[in-house]
Amino acid sequence: MTNTSAQQGQKRPVGIVVRKHGAVSDDQITQARELLETMLAEVGEPVLGVEMALTLLREPAPPKPALAQVTVALKGRLVRARAAGTTPEQAASLLRDRLALRVGRPWGRDGDLAATG
């Protein structure tokens, strides 16, 4: 993942640390990581670190057994978001949307920047 540093005007890599709980597959982790990387690449401030947790609850499970949580360290603040879905993919997509709102980047459900104004 890359992020533009406003002070240096150059891109720098930021890793996403992922923890999984339950039967979350490697493919689901990769997809969730890519969703966050895409969104965070557009953040207008330095991203210092990212930790994400994906959980798939066992049966009997609630109606939304997939949970996604993230903590993003931006310059001067921590931003957290959580989401629940019927699948890890859905939870990760909802997580991306909530995180984007919290860091000030509104995204549409299809992954494109939402129209503002």
Each residue's pLDDT tens digit, 48-86: 999 999 999 988 878 999 999 999 998 888 999 999 999
pTM for the full model? 0.75
Domain that holds residue 7: 2-103
Which residues, other chains included, contact 11 with Cβ-Cβ below 8 Å and sequence gap of 6+? 2, 3, 4, 5
Structural domain contains residue 111: no
62 domain-assigned: yes
Task: Answer whether residue 11 is part of any domain.
Answer: yes
Kindly report the CATH number assigned to the domain that includes residue 48.
Answer: 3.30.160.100
In a domain, 43, yes or no: yes
Look at the chain and report how many structural domains it folds into: 1
Whether 107 shows a pLDDT value over 60: the answer reads no
